[in-house]
Structure 1
Amino acid sequence: MPARQGQPGESGEAGRDARPASPGPGDVRDAWSRLAASSGAVARVDDLLAALPDPLARTAGQRAELAAAQDAARALRTRFLDAHADAVYALLTEDRTVDLRIDELLEAAAGALPGLVPDAALIAAERGRVQADKEGHEIDQGIFLRAVLRSPYAGSHLLDAMLRPTPRALALLPEFTRTGLVETESVRLERRDDGVARLTLCRDDCLNAEDSRQVDDMETAVDLALLDPAVRVGLLRGGEMTHPRYRGRRVFSAGINLKSLSSGDIPLVGFLLRRELGYLHKLVRGVLTDHPGQWHSPRVEKPWVAAVDGFAIGGGTQVLLVCDHVLAASDAYLSLPAAKEGIIPGVANFRFTRYVGPRPARQVILGGRRIRAAEPDARFLVDEVVEPEDMDAAVERSLARLDGAAVLTNRRMLNLAEEPPDAFRAYMAEFALQQALRIYGQDVIDKVGRFAAARPAPPDEAAAAARG
């Protein structure tokens, strides 16, 4: 990983984030090694995992014994990181001169401080299991990332590292700037002569239900749209579906792919955290670059329009909260059914109240209320509601309105006022652990198994039933 000189970036002044006095790199390694050895808590978990049968075959007593051992080890890790997160981060990033994305940071931590986080072999073994048969090693990743993100010194730098363009996007950029077209498995990105990057979600078989593949494709496409100097405005819209219930109709998004979650293919780091800290955060803050022409700001930003056909469920609604202008067809609806599914709806708990107010936010997030585009409360989430046949023309008008030099500056100031970086960082710190705990909750495992099972559904519930 190339070294970079630390810079203020998007997360605050470098001086304010200066690392406080703490143990040096060698000392923090020794401190963890001594603590782990003297406690024996980490070794106890390892011994039990080696001796016990697979999770689904364990007795109630065996599960209780392992849970108690895991609690002890996790309390140990939490205490250590509460005291030494800055020193650990300084060790792994050479005092913030090397940018590491969250997966790279965890891999480096596993190598430098064995037992503090699960190593690559443990995570790979988990990846091959259904969610109900996993050991929950991602919870230990959540403990680590919560401690890092809580720290102004470490967390602000990590947020900046996640705003860097991905290597995949950088590799595709010459082709995109030359042809104006990149097509991946999940999305199609096209730049036309009007300076608009049209990002179309095209998982037509599953109603644009989101999985790790789509998160990677979305971040790549967002990077390309932001980095291409010929792009002035971005558009997010769902493509036409081949799913039997919606064949030939556009659909925005059915949210998280519940079948993938049930089968163990929705990872904490590669999906749940990368999604929030990657392409969604880039839609708000832009990509972080070292281009000398960006001396006035290290980030490249663009305004974004979202057009909702059919529905925006869960993660689909979350996307709308980071866009600058939202249109919806009059027959569309929005929802955040995460509580019904047992998980946290990303950063919606942080953003949704700002749009609709505290009571409707609780009705939607806690109670599962749907908001239809034609009802009064939708005006807080949607800028324009138009008849389905008028969507194309309305989209073009909205893109033209956002294509102005002053738009970029004003959207930046609005985003700073509405979503201060330190407040976002604090939310993501707690989210990293709480979402990890949720995806291993027995209620979640039971619920997603039922949701993902093939079953008949009435038309107004087809989207939720068909995810995946």
Structure 2
Amino acid sequence: MTLTDLPGRPAGPPGELERAGIELAAAADRADARLAALPDPPARSAEQRAEAEAAHDEARSLRAAFMDEHADEVYDVLTARRTRHLRLDELVEAAADAFPGLCPTAAQMAAERARPQDAKEGREIDQGIFLRGVLRSPAAGSHLLDAMLRPTPRALRLLPEFTATGAVEMEAVRLERRGAVAHLTLCRDDCLNAEDERQVDDMETAVDLALLDPSVRTGLLRGGEMSHPRYRGRRVFSAGINLKKIGSGDISLVGFLLRRELGYIHKIIRGVLDDRPGVRPGGRWRSRLTDKPWAAAVDTFAIGGGMQLLSAFDLVIASADAYLSLPAAAEGIVPGMANLRLVRSAGPRLSRQIILSGRRVRATEPAARLLVDEVVEPEEMDAAVERGLARLDGEAVLANRRMLNLAEDPPDALRAYAAEFALQQALRIHGADVIGKVGRFGARPR
């Protein structure tokens, strides 16, 4: 989709959007020419790094101003006046094609993906500027959030298999329907369920399937047994983001950091937006979304992204020997939506202790009752989970959790937070301090 393809665009000379786009493309070309004259990022001297920063700053200032002024117009071009529902990856690719210089090209992103984090040019920051502009807009941003709530093509392909057999085995997640409960088991046993892009894709697929299957009434997320030497045979919930994957350059802004938050986690809270023809005919006046209650069972620990997840669940049961922590500040990154959601449940003081100071909260501490609903001995976990799932199966639970989520997690608040998160997290994963911290995990083998 290009400017001239936009339905209803008046004929005649270029308007303000076109003129601004031409200016932006010229600035991006100038910046790319300056960068091309420099060595690759790791080989640059201090003076050359300053030159690269100046080149980026010139183009990024224009990108930010362009989106501040034209975000809705740009989004309408890319989505044919909001008749197309583009996911994050599709949207940034469409923006690169329709508005040269606004987002990195496919070739530029392919070059970035081939490099470890310390050798990247940082072009995801440009994607962050673009997505911040889109999400800041109530019209464009809300439409994008809805697009991300739609079921993925992979889930729709697997749905007949899951409804027929009640089981789907993926690399990072095992999905099994037992009675009316969808059991999602995190099964990256070698890395303590550390999160990467494979895990995000598998989780969104599993959440979609659980929500789309009419036989499922509730969902449960739990970690499986580990083969890791230190925790062999024990269940572990999650070790959070895979720091080795950050160092090797395999954790992306669009494919992991934003997709995780606006994809499967948002679907756990809000539900899936399934508007396929023939699905619930005549019933959409009740709700556009198909949502269900969710429980989480925390064994051993929930670190980083694992702890972030808990705020999305209606019921959290923790083993008495478990602990929770958010070491994102020590790692140098922003802990997803925790800054938005944790303060609502834990309050400002405890939230700052956890996020800014890395406080570890053990399940048996009084403070843990602000983070989990029930704490039981390890041998009692299975029975406690079954009791909790039974409580979530009440007839009024669905309506009330929907209203609670609207009060605690209003879509406009999420949209505004996600807008700033898109840029701040892009800046953080390319920060020198983060690159230094994750560098010890080594670059991708060649």
How does the TM-score come out when normalised to structure 1?
0.90
Partner of 1:337: 327
SS of structure 1 residue aligned to 2:372: coil
Q: Is the 8 A contact 1:28 1:88 kept in 2?
A: no
Aligned 8 A contact 2:172 2:186 in 1: yes
Partner-residue secondary structure (3-state), 1:334? strand
Residue of structure 2 in register with 1:458 after alignment: none
Aligned partners of 1:320 and 1:62: how far apart in 2?
A: 44
SS at match of 1:405: coil
Which residue is equivalent to 1:31? 19
Counting matched residue pairs gives 431
Letter in 2 for 1:246: Y
- Match for residue 244 of structure 1? 229
Q: Which amino acid aligns with 2:135?
A: L
Aligned-partner Cα distance in 1 for 2:284–2:237: 34
Tell me how far 1:405 sits from its aligned partner. Answer: 1.9
1:99 aligns with one of 62, 85, 90: 85
In structure 2, what residue type is equivalent to 1:204? D
Aligned residue for 1:396, secondary structure, equals helix
User: 2:362 aligns to what?
Assistant: 372
Q: Is the 8 A contact 1:130 1:262 kept in 2?
A: yes
* Residue 150 in structure 1 maps to residue 150 in structure 2: no
Letter aligned with residue 414 of structure 1: L
- Structure 1 match to 2:439: 449
For residues 237 and 22 of structure 1, the distance between their equivalents in structure 2, rounded to whole angstroms, comes to 55
> 2:353 is matched with which residue: 363, 373, 377?
363
Tell me the distance in 2 between the aligned counterparts of 1:25 and 1:176.
54
Superposed CA deviations along residues 136-161 of structure 1, whole A, max 9, x for unmatched, are 00000000000000001100000000
Partner secondary structure for residue 95 of structure 1: coil
| 1:376 aligned partner, one-letter code | P
Choose from 209, 222, 232 the match for 1:224: 209
Q: C-alpha distance in 1, partners of 2:116/2:295?
A: 37
Are residues 1:321 and 2:307 paired?
no
d(CA) in 2 for partners of 1:252, 1:101: 28
Question: Any conservation in 2 of the 1:25–1:91 contact (CA below 8 Å)?
Answer: no
Judged with a 3 Å threshold, the aligned counterparts in structure 2 of structure 1 residues 377 and 424 are, in CA distance, closer, same or farther, namely: same
Aligned pair 1:64/2:82, yes or no?
no
Instruction: Indicate if the aligned counterparts of 2:300 and 2:321 stay in contact, CA closer than 8 A.
Output: yes
How far, CA to CA, are the matches of 1:350 and 1:23 in structure 2?
Answer: 45
Tell me how large the CA RMSD over aligned residues is: 1.8
Counterparts of 1:186-225 in structure 2, within 5 Å, are 186-193=172-179, 195-225=180-210
Change (3 A) 1:22 1:31: farther
Name the CA distance, whole Å, in 2 between partners of 1:108 and 1:438.
25
2:387 to 368, 375, 397: 397
Q: 1:123 aligns with which of 109, 114, 124?
A: 109
Tell me if structure 2 keeps the 8 A contact 1:200–1:239.
yes
Corresponding residue SS for 2:396: helix
User: Hey, what's the Cα distance between the residues in 2 that align with 1:226 and 1:219?
Assistant: 11
Deviation at 1:54, TM superposition (A): 1.0
Q: Does 1:436 align with 2:436?
A: no
- Which of 233, 241, 247 lines up with 1:262 in the alignment? 247
Alpha-carbon shift at residue 294 of structure 1 (Å): 3.2
* 1:298 alignment partner in structure 2: 288
**Cα offsets for 1:73-114 (capped at 9, x unmatched):** 100011111000000000110111110001101111111111
Instruction: Report matched runs for 1:396-415 at 5 Å.
Output: 396-415=386-405
Alignment equivalent of 2:299, drawn from 303, 309, 334:
309
Match of 2:372 in 1: 382
Residue 453 of structure 1 deviates from its aligned partner by: 6.1
TM normalised by structure 2 equals: 0.94
Instruction: Specify the code of the residue in structure 2 equivalent to 1:214.
Output: Q
Report the residue type matching 2:210 in the other structure: A
The equivalent of 1:171 in structure 2 is: 157
Deviates more, 1:291-300 or 1:264-273: 291-300
Is contact 1:330–1:374 with CA below 8 Å preserved after alignment?
yes
The one-letter code sitting in structure 2 at the alignment partner of 1:413 is M
Aligned partner of residue 321 in structure 2, secondary structure: coil
TM-aligned CA deviation for residue 44 of structure 1: 2.0
- Which shows bigger deviation, 48-57 or 167-176? 48-57
1:457: which partner in 2? none
CA distance in 2 between counterparts of 1:113 and 1:32 reads 10
- 1:113 aligns to 2:103 (yes or no): no
* Matched position secondary structure for 1:136: coil
AA at the equivalent of 2:168? V
Specify every segment of 5 or more residues in structure 1 that has no aligned partner in the other structure, as ranges.
Answer: 2-20, 455-468
Identical columns (%) = 72
Which secondary structure state, in structure 2, belongs to the residue aligned with residue 294 of structure 1?
coil
1:178 CA drift (Å): 0.2
Would you say the 8 A contact 1:24–1:87 is kept in 2?
no
SS at match of 1:73: helix
> Would the aligned equivalents of 2:173 and 2:186 in 1 still touch at CA under 8 Å?
yes
Output the CA distance in 1 between the equivalents of 2:86 and 2:249: 25
How far, CA to CA, are the matches of 1:403 and 1:294 in structure 2?
22
Would you identify which runs of 4 or more consecutive aligned residues in structure 1 move more than 4 Å?
A: 21-26
Give the AA of the match of 1:145: L
Q: Decide whether the 8 Å contact of 1:41 with 1:69 is kept in 2.
A: no
Shift of 1:34: 2.9
Matched, 1:49 2:35: yes
Q: 2-side partners of 1:251 and 1:383: how far apart?
A: 18
In the alignment, structure 1 residue 183 sits paired with structure 2 residue 173: no
> Matches of 1:183 and 1:32 in 2, distance apart?
49
How far apart are the structure 2 equivalents of 1:157 and 1:25?
A: 30
Secondary structure at the aligned position of 2:309 is classed as helix
**CA contact 1:146–1:433 (8 Å) conserved in 2:** yes
- Partners of 2:39 and 2:50 lie apart in 1 by 14
Residue 29 (structure 1) shift: 5.4
Q: State the secondary structure of the residue aligned to 2:21.
A: helix
CA spacing shift, 1:30–1:443, aligned 2, 3 Å: same
Q: Structure 2: state its 5+ residue gaps.
A: 2-8
